[in-house]
Amino acid sequence: MSDASIPDDVEPDHEHEHSHHAEGPGYATPQAAIEESDREKLAYVMSLYVGTDVDAPDFVAVVDIDPDSDTYCKIVDRIELPNRGDELHHFGWNACSSSCHVEGLERRHLIVPGQRSSRIHVVDTKERRNPELVSVIEPEDVYEYDLSAPHTVHCIPDGQILISMLGDADGELPGGFLELNEDFEIEGRWEPPGEIEMNYDYWYQPRQNVMVSSEWAAPKTYYPGFDLDDVEEGRYGRKLHFWDWEAGTVEQTIDLGEEGLIPLEVRFLHTPESTHGFVGAALSSNIFHFWRDEESAARSAADEASGDEPRAADGEGKYRAEKVIDFEAREHPDWDMPVPGLTTDILISMDDRYLFGSNWLHGDIWMYDVSDPSNPRRADSLSVGGTFGEVQEVQGRKLSAGPQMIQLSLDGERLYWTTSLFSSWDEQFYPEEGERGSVMLKADVDPRKGTLELDEDFLVDWGECPAGPARAHEIRWPDGDCTSDVWQ
């Protein structure tokens, strides 16, 4: 990682308590992930039939993305799940680079939740091209902890797995977090109940003892589709919660206001010394930068030491959040209101230099230089698919929806994306997505120049699946990626 990518207020410190000579999974540092990793050759992709006319269970697709392979751009295996109606959405690994000190632990098992079913699947990827389903946690076992609707899966450093849960056992609020042990059994509810109301994505930075979580809504609110009345009635989130990572308790909540409606994907920078990060507010179509205000923290610590009530900085405490990117809504003759970009995914390159994201309704893939996180600089963008995209077909295949879930190669030179958001939202905004199926596309990235170029030779088509067209959502690499790896 170059010094230029480390924010000014962060002192690089690669010395910490444990040894990186242990035989744990992952890479010693983000820079090692860039330098030591091989080019990605396989992708695991969440694939689903929920909300289509195909009566089949969802599956995990194994996609060949090795350009030297005879099956390049093909789905070469499908791990079909035992039940219908799961709505596979997000998934994660049992272990990542944060477990680098745990000898004998492998990044081998995928934890694959069903968003609608609350069923949690465990997939063994020892045979990378032919993974195998090895166990299932049934919904009734999850409901015992008054939780449902699993979303983000992260490994945590000692081999456990933490899953954000968006609802209670009835699909209402509040959500919470479910912890699994290293044998993929439910360990229990991770946080004291009642710490938060809404939940969605989360990311942790163990060296700073902090976790940040974002908000969507109650499952019963977003399951049927999007309704503007729900926004007006305050049923969608707009807050960030900053947690004491070790204690599992909320230390601070920041209300992002109207400009921060529906804050979804949330990312800390990869460097473990940093407290800077970003969150994409989907409905407002803004990006917020958040960071720990060191002066505020120092004042609070001094007050506490003196026995005085700790002072907050402008009522916001130790962390601050500020809107730094704003995507304007656009007029369209078929819409009664300006069309928001709907910024549904973001990620940070492994060197912390670039922030990438997708505007699902507008049809944009964009790239900002965030070397100075407070002042992102637009680098490049692509207009492809969606309501306004300049490119509406690739290799003669008409695109049904805009760019949605994105994933970047570890070296930062290839950006991939799929086009399905959530089955009922797909049906509402892009009904042809269920009829034609999703696609996976790719852009070549030049990190030195800060440019994106659509690779029109790359297309993976979920419209050609044997049982019929399927939707495609989140993407993961077997050796870790920019949205699953955390460092201690």
Integer angstrom CA distances of residue 102 from 21, 159, 162, 410: 10, 8, 17, 22
pLDDT at 313: 44
- 296 in Cβ contact with 319 (< 8 Å): no
Going by pLDDT thresholds of 50, 70 and 90, the confidence category of residue 20 is low
pLDDT over threshold 70, residue 63: yes
Residue 459 tokens, joined: 């297309």
pLDDT, tens digit, 9 for 90 and up, residues 87-122 = 999 999 999 998 887 888 999 999 999 999 999 999
Going by pLDDT thresholds of 50, 70 and 90, the confidence category of residue 283 is very high
Write b or e for each residue in 368-395: b if 16 or more Cβ atoms lie within 10 A of its Cβ, otherwise e. bbbbebeebeebbbbbbbbbbbeeeebe
- In eight-state DSSP terms, residue 339 is B
Question: What phi, psi does 278 have (nearest 5°)?
Answer: -140, 150
Classify domain 42-306+315-476 at the CATH topology level.
Answer: Methylamine Dehydrogenase; Chain H (2.130.10)
Going by pLDDT thresholds of 50, 70 and 90, the confidence category of residue 133 is very high
Q: How far is Cα 29 from Cα 350, in angstroms, rounded to an integer?
A: 10
pTM of the predicted protein model: 0.94
Residue 172 tokens, joined: 């209402």
